[in-house]
Amino acid sequence: MGYSIGRWDADTFVVETLGFPDKNWIDSAGMPGSDALHVTERFHRKDFGHMDVAITINDPKSYAKPWTVTLPFTPYPDDELVEYVCNENNRYPTAK
């Protein structure tokens, strides 16, 4: 729902996202976000079978201070990574 830019910082892939719409949700539970939201995701592969993603939420309009959640991921052999597609502002919506 924003504009993301990724870059490598040593062995960690860092994605920064800005440009969110006002009065958005940052998760499926309805945690609020504003147009001041800045999300930083740090993807770090600890070893062959483990990866951590540290997500930092910085939104001074919604929260008193930035906070970070770290999610562990365990990729499975022969698993397919599926791209998440957001249909917001889709220029070519499918007919219902």
Tell me the pLDDT tens digit for each residue of 3-29.
Answer: 999 999 999 999 999 999 998 888 888
Confidence of residue 81 (pLDDT cuts 50, 70, 90): low
What is the model's pTM? Answer: 0.77
CB-CB contact of 33 with 26 (8 Å): yes
Backbone φ and ψ for 49, nearest 5 degrees, come out as -110, 10
DSSP string over 58-84:
E-TTT-SS-EEEEEEE---TTPPP---
